[in-house]
Structure 1
Amino acid sequence: MHSALWASKTGLAAQDTMLTTISNNLANVGTTGFKRDRPEFEDLLYQVKRQPGAQSTQDTQLPSGLQTGTGVKVVGTQKIFTQGSLQTTEQPLDLAINGKGFFQILMPDGNMGYTRDGSFHLDSEGQVVTSNGYPLEPGIQLPENVQSFTVGEDGTVSITVFGDPGVQEIGNLQTADFINPAGLQAIGSNLYMETAASGAPLAGNPGENGLGTVLQNTLENSNVSVVEELVNMITTQRAYEMNSKVISTADQMLQYISQNL
């Protein structure tokens, strides 16, 4: 097979992955707390036909070698955990983290999940849960006669109840951060899971030890930039077309040889 055909084939596959990533980013432009993905590429092994620095004579060396590349491959996709814009809402159960950190969510299997999506709800027992019904950890449960619900920037949860003008503190919301957030495993439903690459979670009170503060009546929007993704889409499309052109050109060259020799 002509080497250019193989190299261009790997280029087409890489740009296809790039387009898939861009489409996923754009599809989640309105997803609360979503973090955009960025594919990472790496060139493949080179065929060394003349070694750089090899002796051309007894007293001289080759200043440069003869190396031909064999294409490209996708080595990973990285989550970009930059802060999304903050949107003020009128819902007291809407929370956002201004800075580093994740809300801790207790999964049905007993493991801990992590999210930046702070659009919480109440279940039938007054427990604060996600849209899928997974409880916040540490758990926060509101009594039936609650009048107002307040979460401080440091995660302190306090309420007032009907018939009692006093303020009651019922718990403290904690967040967690990781040494390498990009190593978290995205499992869908705006949730991440700990992996060996992410390191162990470092839990604590919001605003302490580098953790971001918690803002009530606020949601964090997706950090996807539509303009940037559209520019990336155009670049990807052109790169795909050029790799296709290389395949067409190599085919024409092979056709010429087969017909004229």
Structure 2
Amino acid sequence: MVAIYKSGMNAALQDIAVISNNIANAGTVSFKRSDTIFEDIYATEKNRTSNLQLGNGVQRLEPRRAHQQGSFIMTNAALDLAINGEGFFAIKNPNNPDEIKYTRNGSINLTNEGELVTMDGFKYLDEENNEVKIPFTVVDSEENIRRLSAINVAANGSIQVDYGQGVSVKVATVGLSTFKDETKLRNDGNTNYIVTPESGQPVVSAPQDSATGTGSIQSGALEAANVDTTNEIARLLRAQQAFSGSSRIMQADVDMIRRLID
């Protein structure tokens, strides 16, 4: 019986850890909450008439990540992009070109070289998996040097750059990647994900692509975490009560055995 009580306590502890992580990341851009998954363990006991399935505790499974879209935080910054619908931004490690991760975090920084990067320096990729680079100057038809004045990203991912009045250049189209099962992507920290055999390989296309079902781009916004803090606190209280209840039952069982021995 002690093993059964212990499995219940361990399950409650994992539930508390997962819920606490959800609450801690409620303010993290594009964070996706997780749910703890359990299954019952049964032992088979044979008697003269049938095999009885007896409860033998609970088994913890890998937490399941919920990819429902979070609400939008309006920032009005030109390079803050939120995905309205399906898809992930592809980002490349500058120190390892073969390392590509995927994220819904569209808080984009512009480097001195005109590259679009994450806070960690990973480079955002376009619809053809090429790095996106924005020139700070161009030469117009009259051989005049024109300097960058504005950046606009359309709903279809088109990046249009203005160089003063009358000069506008499309430099790239933001790429979005979709997967067979996005819940099977492996979390690599900082709301970045890595492909696994279960998730399937990415299908890269432009936003608003009807063939792949990619969503649209909302410029001037960021996707908030899909965490309902009130609901998570209620779940945390239930998990704490489950742990407390299991520990009290186990203590009562131990006390009873001690009295019998004494």
Equivalent runs, 1:145-160 vs 2, <5 Å: 145-160=147-162
Judge conservation of contact 2:76–2:220 (CA < 8 Å) in 1.
yes
Judge conservation of contact 2:181–2:198 (CA < 8 Å) in 1.
yes
- Structure 1 counterpart of 2:88, one-letter code: F
* TM-score normalised by structure 1 residue count: 0.90
State the secondary structure of the residue aligned to 2:196: coil
Q: Choose from 229, 238, 243 the match for 2:246.
A: 243
- Structure 2 counterpart of 1:173, one-letter code: V
Residue 116 of structure 1 corresponds to which residue in structure 2? 104
Judge conservation of contact 2:76–2:219 (CA < 8 Å) in 1.
no
Deviations for 1:71-96, whole angstroms, at most 9, x for unmatched residues? 11211111100010011112111000
- Structure 2 counterpart of 1:232, one-letter code: R
Matched, 1:168 2:169: yes
Query: Using the alignment, how far apart are the partners of 1:182 and 1:155 within structure 2?
Result: 24
* Structure of higher CA gyration radius: 1
- Structure 2 counterpart of 1:114, one-letter code: Y
Judge conservation of contact 1:5–1:246 (CA < 8 Å) in 2.
no
1:166 is displaced (CA, Å) by 2.7
Judge conservation of contact 1:22–1:229 (CA < 8 Å) in 2.
yes
- Structure 1 counterpart of 2:76, one-letter code: E
Query: Using the alignment, how far apart are the partners of 1:111 and 1:247 within structure 2?
Result: 48
Judge conservation of contact 2:25–2:225 (CA < 8 Å) in 1.
yes
Over 3 Å counting, the alpha-carbon distance change for 1:168 and 1:207 in structure 2 is same
Residue 78 of structure 1 corresponds to which residue in structure 2? 64
- Structure 2 counterpart of 1:213, one-letter code: S
Deviations for 1:138-197, whole angstroms, at most 9, x for unmatched residues? 2221222211101111111111113x4132111111100111111001011221000001
State the secondary structure of the residue aligned to 1:188: coil
Residue 10 of structure 2 corresponds to which residue in structure 1? 13
Query: Using the alignment, how far apart are the partners of 1:116 and 1:33 within structure 2?
Result: 6
Q: Choose from 125, 129, 146 the match for 2:113.
A: 125
1:256 is displaced (CA, Å) by 2.2
Query: Using the alignment, how far apart are the partners of 2:9 and 2:121 within structure 1?
Result: 42
Judge conservation of contact 1:47–1:70 (CA < 8 Å) in 2.
no
1:237 is displaced (CA, Å) by 0.8
Judge conservation of contact 2:207–2:217 (CA < 8 Å) in 1.
yes
Judge conservation of contact 1:49–1:67 (CA < 8 Å) in 2.
no
Matched, 1:28 2:25: yes
Q: Which consecutive unaligned segments of at least 5 residues does structure 2 have?
A: 137-146
- Structure 1 counterpart of 2:68, one-letter code: T
Residue 143 of structure 1 corresponds to which residue in structure 2? 135
Residue 195 of structure 1 corresponds to which residue in structure 2? 196
- Structure 2 counterpart of 1:153, one-letter code: A
1:67 is displaced (CA, Å) by 3.2
- Structure 2 counterpart of 1:220, one-letter code: E
Query: Using the alignment, how far apart are the partners of 1:253 and 1:31 within structure 2?
Result: 48
Q: Choose from 225, 230, 233 the match for 1:230.
A: 233
Deviations for 1:30-66, whole angstroms, at most 9, x for unmatched residues? 000000011110112314243xxx64xxxxxx6xx54
Query: Using the alignment, how far apart are the partners of 2:70 and 2:196 within structure 1?
Result: 24
- Structure 2 counterpart of 1:226, one-letter code: T
Q: Choose from 69, 72, 89 the match for 2:55.
A: 69
- Structure 1 counterpart of 2:73, one-letter code: Q
Deviations for 1:196-239, whole angstroms, at most 9, x for unmatched residues? 01011111111113111011001000001101100100110110
What RMSD over aligned residues (CA atoms) do the two structures have, in Å?
Answer: 1.3
1:70 is displaced (CA, Å) by 1.6
